[in-house]
Amino acid sequence: MRILMFGWEFPPHITGGLGTACFGLTKGLAKHGTEVIFVVPKAYGDESQEAVRLINASDIPFDQTDENYREYWKRIKYLEIGSNIIPYVAPEDFAREISKRKKSGEKYTSHVFSKDYQFSGKYGSNLMEEVARYALIGSALSLKEDFDIIHAHDWLTYPAGVAAKESSGKPLVVHMHATEFDRSGKNINTQVYDIEREGMMAADRVITVSHLTRSIVIEKYGIDPGKVVTVHNAVEPSLFTELAEVKRTLNEKIVTFLGRITFQKGPEYFIEAAYKILQKDKNVRFVMGGSGDMLNRMIERVAQLHIADKFHFTGFLKGGEIDQMFALSDVFVMPSVSEPFGIVPLEAMRSNVPVVISKQSGVAEILRHALKVDYWDVDGMADAIYGLCHYEALSSMFKKYGKVEVENLKWENAAYEVNQVYHSIPL
């Protein structure tokens, strides 16, 4: 079976968990004999193609005289969007001026319909122009490539998936990694919600990364439960095992938060728990790795609580830096308010770091050897962290059995389930 897959990013050029999940899934599919043609807006030439044939959408010329494309163009919507709905990007890197001007198809027709178009591959000011062009490229590729099923990851690629389905008549699978409700809470952007809903309505199957996400898809988007299937994510084996021997220069315990510093990830609860712990034990140090729209507020809160001498903000970490941080950590905390899945706790456990996670995360559905608390229960979170820092038997137990548990969460197993989804669709 051959899959035409649309994704907005692919390692090593990633800004969050979406690209990591795409990479792991495609490698797993390859082990089951499933071929993947992966279309990315911008390829840099250093991406691993061991499991995919990567297509750079920037290399695909466009024939503006083809009426098939112009007909689809009429149905493409431009959105005015704020940085709060852009996944996996620090808003300080986002062009804030986009909120000051309206976008319309007419304004961008000359760019989107030009013969050649260079995608930035970023989440910048021309994001929706790129989404529209990407959809047109999806439509074009679907008429040229030989494939059985279309697979689109997250809302940025849903228009391309729908366009490819309409052009080719082939079945469409959409993968929901995070909903607009996860990103924005109750204050959703209705236009992005519409893109998500239209993509899922047009799909033959919807894959969600957790039962939590599945319930949101069914209840808040009105999608037929019969076509929504949960396939939990997995974790890649570490490529940086040598970092396990990193030498520590501090005798203090180190407690780590890694993730986007946004509403969804609950960074404020981590800081409040840190404050409570430091009232009992000064021999603990806290690290917040990541960037996001709440970063400055979190720095100010740490200063207000007078714990800045025990708190570190590292900025965005990636690759070997993450493995090195885990090698230095005694506890990892993920206090997410709404987490569709959450791969980072698996990466921590793989690195022999015990974890505290919120019950409001998809990964809590499958993990047994993790301490789980409600994100808002700061006292419970502080107690869990304190226990792992001070009771060696408890920490050792979670390290030992947690690592074994995670080693069994393989992408090839998740890929097997995705393959079952593919085969459940009449071709």
Domain match, 281 and 400 both: yes
Q: Domain of 41: which CATH number?
A: 3.40.50.2000
Q: CA torsion sign, 16 to 20 to 23 to 25? A: negative
Domain match, 316 and 415 both: no
Domain match, 217 and 87 both: yes
Range of the domain at 192: 2-234+411-423
Domain match, 17 and 103 both: yes
Domain match, 78 and 120 both: yes
Full pLDDT tens readout for the chain, 427 residues: 999 999 998 888 877 678 889 999 999 999 999 999 999 998 888 888 888 899 998 888 766 566 665 665 555 544 444 434 444 443 333 334 334 334 444 444 446 666 778 887 777 667 777 888 888 889 889 988 999 999 999 899 999 999 999 989 999 999 999 999 988 877 888 878 999 999 999 999 999 999 999 999 999 999 999 999 999 999 877 644 444 456 677 789 999 999 989 888 999 999 999 999 999 999 999 999 999 889 999 999 999 999 999 999 999 888 788 889 999 999 999 999 989 999 899 999 999 999 999 999 999 999 999 999 999 999 999 999 999 999 999 999 999 999 999 988 999 999 999 999 999 998 8
Domain match, 415 and 389 both: no
Domain match, 223 and 78 both: yes
Count the domains in the chain. 2
Domain match, 19 and 166 both: yes
Domain match, 359 and 259 both: yes
pTM: 0.84
- Predicted local confidence at residue 70, as pLDDT: 60
Domain match, 10 and 70 both: yes
Domain match, 135 and 276 both: no
Domain match, 123 and 228 both: yes
